[in-house]
Amino acid sequence: MADKSIREAHTPDAAPDAAPEAGVSEKAPSRDGISRRKLLGTAGATGFVLGAAGGAVGYAAAPSEATPLSSIGSNRVMFHVKHQPGITEGLQARGHLVAFDLTAGAGRKEAAALLRRWSATAERLMAGEAAAHDDTDVARDAGPSSLTLTFGFGHSFFSRTGLEKQRPVSLDPLPDFSSDHLDKARSNGDLWVQIGANDALVAFHALRAIQKDAGSAARIRWQMNGFNRTPGATAHPMTARNLMGQLDGTRNPKPTESDFDKRIFVPSSGSNDPAWMANGSYAVVRRIRMLLDDWEKLSLKAQENVIGRRKSDGAPLSGGTETTAMDLEKTDAQGNYVVPGNAHARISRPDQNGGAAILRRPFSYHDGFDADGVPDAGLLFVCWQADPLRGFVTIQRKLDRGDALSKYIRHEASGLFAVPGGAAQGEYVGQRLLEE
């Protein structure tokens, strides 16, 4: 289940949840002539506070001392970059995934106008500014908070806009997998938007602005909400945990690796993809429900054998630390593999899948409980690769044939989207496709 909530191959080495983001600025642009930093520095705030001495907890009955905009709020990700934002940045605390379908009568012209609006709004909001029209003021007091907006096209988009000849072969529908229990109403879509931020109100503000911008050109097909650990919540940056309690993302490929771009991004030349996909990537999106009641009945040892790693620190069962290379041949006194043959971490490794690797960048989700008290919770799995067939599909097929984790998860929704490269200054996302 290439996307498993605990991806290992795609679990590669997910960027630490508290890692700083590339292209980040410490200053948020001003609004109405007053910077948000200055605004928050002069505004009073009431609420839950921690005493500086001894960590005492209490409620402030009067405005607290003025404080500057925190580092979380001031972090800004740039919109006009080589690759769209929201792919290589560190995990954000809040996320929204939303798919749209073009409305009846809307075609290429309407789609181009919509992407132009969305790009302009994304640029403003990521800079900490208000939307150009009818801003809701939901994020008025906050800085950019590492907000990113990422846009992609689904398989059906091209027939709706008369651009079938420009549809990439890599966007062919994903094959069926044994763990699939897919809800078609919550899968696929003409257009896809990923929103992430380190503040819940900033993320919601962006979601609402994008929805309003859609106007009469597109309607929401499905929408999902996710979360991760807030940066700074741990004593030091570390790989995030998922709702099973496992470190999730240990083996994510790193941008510093020499073959990172080759694995994750479409090259500007020399590929079978159309020219408009240069510097872009393909996003596989899966809603993976974790069967937590069943999982939590397992002993700690049994859970670790399913994954192949220690729950406490993510180290392989063969020994060492989280980043120690897994010894797949190590056996115990009885001659059994220390890392079981069907362990998720073993099966999903790139060296067990012809070198296939993906960049996992998920969000956890919780959508309440059913009538029996069973949690509807799991992973909004998002993975990135230059070629879905050589990335996600290769790994998922291998997992489908015997991953111990498959018993405790269920894939309930799915989508595959072509995400073009970043928009140059003065351009909008997808312009090279829509105005070619």
Q: Which residue, chain included where needed, has tokens 């996600």?
A: 392
Q: Which residue, chain included where needed, has tokens 């402030």?
A: 60
Cα–Cα dist 164/103, whole Å? 18
Q: Are 239 and 314 in contact (CB under 8 A)?
A: yes
DSSP 337: B
- Phi and psi based region of residue 425 (left: phi greater than 0; alpha: psi -120 to 50; beta: remaining): beta
Cα–Cα dist 374/336, whole Å? 35
| Triad 170, 114, 150: Cα angle to 5° | 50
Exposed e or buried b per residue across 197-229, where buried means at least 16 C-beta atoms within 10 angstroms of its C-beta: bbbbebbbbbbbbbbebbeebbeebbebbbbbb
> Could you say which of 248, 273, 400, 403 is catalytic?
248
Cα–Cα dist 296/58, whole Å? 34
Q: Are 99 and 221 in contact (CB under 8 A)?
A: yes
Cα–Cα dist 64/60, whole Å? 7
DSSP 389: I
* Token digits of residue 263: 């694995």
Please name which of 250, 363, 352 lies closest in space to residue 8, comparing C-alpha atoms: 250
- Phi and psi based region of residue 146 (left: phi greater than 0; alpha: psi -120 to 50; beta: remaining): left
Exposed e or buried b per residue across 89-124, where buried means at least 16 C-beta atoms within 10 angstroms of its C-beta: bbbbbbbbbbbbbbeeebebebbbbbbbbbbebbbb
Active site annotation includes 248 = yes
**Cα-based distances in Å from 419 to 298, 400, 422:** 39, 26, 9
Phi, psi of 412 (to 5 degrees): -110, -15
Phi, psi of 264 (to 5 degrees): -105, -35
The total number of residues shown for the chain amounts to 436
Q: Which residues are catalytic?
A: 248
